[in-house]
Amino acid sequence: MRRRYTAADLGVFTREEASRFVPRGDGDPQNDVVLAWELLYRLEPELYDRLASVERLHPGVIGWLPRDVDRIAEVGAGTGRLTMELAERGRHVVAVEPARPLRRILRRKLTAAGHGDRVRVIRGFFDQLPLRDDAAGLVVACSAFTPSAGHGGEAGLAEMERVCRPGGCVAIIWPNHLDWLAARGYRHVSFPGPMSVEFGSHEEAVELAEIFYPKAAGEIRRRGWRKVPFEALGINPPRDLAFKVLAG
Ligand SMILES: C[S@@+](CC[C@H](N)C(=O)[O-])C[C@H]1O[C@@H](n2cnc3c(N)ncnc32)[C@H](O)[C@@H]1O
C-alpha cells in the first residue's frame, strides 16, 4: 500500500476531503499509510471492496447490535460491510460516506439486495454530520472512527452523540484506540474465538496479501492458504466494539 500511490494522486480529493486528509496542503502517501487508504477508496474502490468483503466481522458483533431500532445512522459506511447487516434490522437506515466511489458501490449493493428504498446513502464527514439532533437510536461506525481529527476525533464523537437520541446507543466497531474511547465513557465488548479471512481462492489470498499484508504473503504462498488466520496477517481481528448508551 505504501508504494501504490504518490503525492501526484492527491488531486483526487475534493476540497472538503483535502481539508481533512491533507490539512497543510501537502502529504506523502508513501510515508503515510492512512493517506494511502484514502486514495485507495477513491482510485481503486473495487479493490477495496474485494478486501472488505472477505474481512468479515465476528458474528457476535452483529448479534450484539440492538434489533428493535427504528432509525439507524452509520458513519463511514464504505461499501457496506456493516450497512448490509443494518439494512436487515433498522426500519430507516442512513449511511454517511464521504468517498463518492464507495457510495456508488454501496448503492449498487443495496439495490441488488432489495434494500435500496430503506437505506439512504449520503455524503458527509464525522465532524459535520448532515443529520439533525436526536436523529437515530443507534449511531454506529465500523472500522472508520479514529481519535485523529481527520477521521473523527473529539468533534466526530461529539457529532455522533449529537445525532443519537437520549437513551440511544453510539457504537464504535473495530475500534483502534480503546483507551481513548474509555476515557470518554465508552465500554468495551470483545467476542472470543478463532477468526480468519476467507479469500475466494488461494490465488486471491496471495494477490490481496501482497497488496495489503505484504509481510504475510510469503507464509500464505508457502502454506497454500485460502483461509488465513488474522494473527498471520498481523492485524487485530474485527471482534471488538466500544459503546455508550446516552442518558435518557
Ligand atoms: C476502512 S473503511 C471502513 C468502511 C466500512 N465501514 C467497512 O467496515 O467496511 C473506512 C471508511 O471511513 C471513511 N472515512 C474516512 N474519513 C472519514 C471522515 N472524516 N468522516 C466519515 N467517514 C470517513 C472512509 O471513506 C471509508 O469508507
Q: What is the pLDDT of residues 98-155, one digit of tens each?
A: 999 999 999 999 999 999 999 999 999 999 999 999 999 999 999 999 999 999 999 9
* Mean predicted lDDT score pLDDT of the chain: 97
**Dihedral sign (CA 12, 36, 61, 232):** positive
CA of 151 to the centre of ligand 1 (A): 8
d(CA 113, CA 100): 20
Pocket residues for ligand 1 (CB within 6 Å)?
A: 20, 41, 52, 75-78, 81-82, 97-99, 102, 125-126, 142-144, 150-151
CA of 187 to the centre of ligand 1 (A): 22
d(CA 137, CA 67): 11
d(CA 125, CA 151): 8
pLDDT > 70 in the chain, percent: 100
pTM above 0.85, yes or no: yes
Q: Are residues 83 and 57 in contact, defined by beta-carbon separation less than 8 angstroms?
A: no
Q: Which residue among 49, 126, 235 has the greatest number of ligand 1 atoms within 8 angstroms of its CB, and so is best to mutate?
A: 126
pLDDT grade for 248, boundaries at 50, 70 and 90: confident
pLDDT > 90 in the chain, percent: 96
d(CA 183, CA 221): 42
Q: Quick one: pLDDT at residue 26?
A: 87
Instruction: Report how far apart, in Å, the C-alpha atoms of 106 and of each of 34, 42, 74, 163 are.
Output: 21, 13, 13, 22
Spell out where 174-225 has E strands: 187-190, 196-198
Cell output for 221: 504462498
Q: Are residues 108 and 114 in contact, defined by beta-carbon separation less than 8 angstroms?
A: no
Q: What is the pLDDT of residues 156-191, one digit of tens each?
A: 999 999 999 999 999 999 999 999 999 999 999 999
Q: Which residue among 44, 125, 139, 197 has the greatest number of ligand 1 atoms within 8 angstroms of its CB, and so is best to mutate?
A: 125
The SS3 of residue 103 is: helix
In angstroms, the first-to-last Cα distance of the chain is: 44
Which atom of ligand 1 lies closest to the CA of 99?
25
